[in-house]
Structure 1
Amino acid sequence: MALARRGSRRIVVDGVEYRWRAGRRHWCCDYDVRTLGYVVEDAARPGRTLVVETGRPVVLEPGPVPAEVVLPREVAAGIRAARSNGWTPGCDGSPFKLYLSAV
């Protein structure tokens, strides 16, 4: 499932352009809505998406507002970690899930 261009942000990591969006609900798979996460895909050839769960809580009242924001440097670090763990963004396939622990 490709990310909608509206609401997604552009990031360039190691010379490759990606699009990402903070996720507060199920974008493409079983991701825990109680924790803050984001979804990433290759901007040039959307294929296998990356779903990163940060482990940080989302405050659910009065609405789904993140307790903290996701910073671009965190997204870049998540992309690098996923690439080193086998994520191939240009290929087709089910979403690649990366679970980070809350620090």
Structure 2
Amino acid sequence: MAIPKKGSRLISVDDITYRWRIRPKPTYSQGLAETALTYAVELEQDPGSVLVVTTDFPRPDNWIVSSGRAVRPTEVADTIRAALRQGWRPDRPSPVMQMSATASRRLASAETSGA
């Protein structure tokens, strides 16, 4: 599965360039604010595995609640670093890796606190 270039953004994390993208329209359950916003990440050059990240907030364009917000590039970068520490190998063909943005924040705070 490759991420389409149209509508995607590039981000450099530790001198490696990745492509990330949020789907242009919400799924039905995202539109109803039943499921959270998700985005996908892969290497820009020679992608292998895709990382799918589930945030802990609804899409800003959902149809029900107004509490959604945008994904910031710093959040994407932090999640990429956490996924790499968890064993994500973006250069190797493998199944999609699922990750929660909440879990990536927990990993980051545990590392900074020395746990």
Shared fold (TM-score, shorter chain, > 0.5) = yes
Query: What secondary structure is seen at the aligned counterpart in 2 of 1:67?
Result: coil
Aligned partner of 2:63 in structure 1 is 61
5+ residue gaps in structure 1? 26-31
For residue 7 of structure 1, what is the amino acid of its counterpart?
A: G
Aligned partner of 1:92 in structure 2 is 93
Aligned partner of 1:45 in structure 2 is 46
TM-score (norm 2): 0.73
CA drift at 1:66 = 8.1
5+ residue gaps in structure 2? 106-115
Aligned partner of 2:71 in structure 1 is 70
CA distance in 2, matches of 1:21, 1:88: 18
Greater helix content: 2
TM-score (norm 1): 0.81
Query: What secondary structure is seen at the aligned counterpart in 1 of 2:12?
Result: strand
Greater strand content: 1
Query: What secondary structure is seen at the aligned counterpart in 1 of 2:102?
Result: coil
Aligned partner of 2:17 in structure 1 is 17
Residue correspondences, number:
95
Q: 1:66 to 1:47 in 2, by over 3 A?
A: farther
Root-mean-square deviation (CA, aligned residues, Å) is: 2.4
- Does structure 2 retain, via aligned residues, the 8 Å contact 1:36–1:66? no
For residue 87 of structure 2, what is the amino acid of its counterpart?
A: G
